[in-house]
Amino acid sequence: MPLAELVEFLARRQVTGSLTCERGAVRKTVHLREGKAVGAASTDAREFLGQLLINFGHLNEDQLAKAFRTQQETHIRLGKVVAMVGLVPAETVREVLGIKIRETLLDVFRWDSGSFGVDDEPPAPQDEELAVSVPLADILKEAEFRTTAWEAFRAQFPSGVASLLIDEERIPASARDDTIDGRLLMLAVQGKTIDEIGLALHATEFHLYQRLYALARQGVLRAAAAPAGSPEAPGEMLAAAEFVDRARQLLAEGRVEDAEKAAAQALSLSPGAEAARQVLHDVREALSLSLRSALDRHWVPVLRMSSSEIDSAEKYLLSRCDGRRDLGQIAQVAPLDELEVLKAFRRFLLSNVVELRPG
């Protein structure tokens, strides 16, 4: 069943339960009550509440790190913490929680493959002060609009690895340094690529490209030519089951990173295969355990040398190596999956780009 038909069905039947969508290592769950979305969880770090609060200018990274420490001490949900200590008004937290719910499901409409399941277990009771409810019918209408919007965005900005050309005379007075557009333009002037800007702003893809497109329509910016990439070598064509077997064998041999690649390939070939999902989960759990043992989260990464052959995510992480944030704090506030953060820092250590010092 296409996702749009499923969401329309759940809305029309006023279903209570949860909708879970999976693709590779990404898992998203939307909690439903009588055909309305009342909560969402996602393994995509860009959709975490803290990342969205930073993106919309309600928090900075240091404030988020402080809120996380309070959350760990009190075991209270992050939204409640930031409202309780006065960092963000409760009304604003509710608005951002609504955005979180929408973004979690709307992103799935762009997937070209994946699997879903519906569970009729009722969602947990909500905190009355922060309760939100988003009709699925509204999300479905937004998904239809975004299909057209993405076509327009990609026509203007076909690649995230491109930098931006700015016409400074056309920058509107409203694009102050404390606004999203102002911060976006400042990063663009510094030569950051679109992907790098998205990470620095902690922005979801749609909100980033929505602002880029609006500024392009005003003549403020346009995409520079993307650097030419080298063609990928054709990979060995195997069936999904063979990749599952290969992943398990590599995991047994202790070659965890190779096992992760094989498991990811298996799932891309057969998104609904339970064996592929399970082996990828097992491999990532083993890799996470290994990296957490090797990298003490309380140690502070310090830059030793610069590196030019890194991607936008790695540039973002290196920019946070200021000698005062420990590895755990960087992983908490980064708009990236924790495992990807740990993998990146292990690469930095092996290439002598950073060193770890006791916190």
Across the range 107-133, mean pLDDT stands at 92
Dist CA 182 CA 7 (whole Å)? 37
Above 90 in pLDDT, residue 325? yes
Contact (CB, 8 A) for 282 and 256: no
Q: Return the H-helix or E-strand segment holding 357.
A: strand 354-357
Question: What are the angstrom distances between the C-alpha of 217 and each of 146, 156, 204, 210, 220?
Answer: 17, 10, 20, 11, 8
pLDDT at 230: 41
Question: Which has the closest alpha carbon to 90: 122, 128, 118?
Answer: 128
pLDDT for 204-243, tens place per residue? 999 999 999 999 999 999 999 866 654 443 444 468 889 9
- Which alpha helices (DSSP H) does the chain contain, by range? 3-12, 49-55, 61-74, 78-84, 90-106, 136-156, 180-189, 194-201, 205-217, 240-252, 256-269, 274-294, 312-319, 327-333, 338-350
pLDDT at 277: 87
pLDDT at 149: 96
Q: Which residues of 325-344 are buried (b: 16+ CB within 10 A; e: fewer)?
A: bbbbbbbbbbbbbbbbbbbb
Dist CA 12 CA 122 (whole Å)? 17
pTM of the model: 0.84
Q: Is 18 helix (H, G, I), strand (E, B) or coil?
A: strand
pLDDT at 332: 93
In this prediction, residue 335 has a pLDDT band, given cuts at 50, 70 and 90, of: very high
Across the range 335-341, mean pLDDT stands at 93
pLDDT at 152: 96
In this prediction, residue 133 has a pLDDT band, given cuts at 50, 70 and 90, of: very high
Across the range 293-305, mean pLDDT stands at 92
- Over the chain, what is the mean pLDDT? 91
Across the range 38-58, mean pLDDT stands at 95
Dist CA 32 CA 11 (whole Å)? 9
Above 80 in pLDDT, residue 294? yes
pLDDT at 40: 97
In this prediction, residue 319 has a pLDDT band, given cuts at 50, 70 and 90, of: very high
Other C-beta atoms within 10 Å of 144: how many?
11
| Percentage of residues in the chain having pLDDT higher than 90 | 83
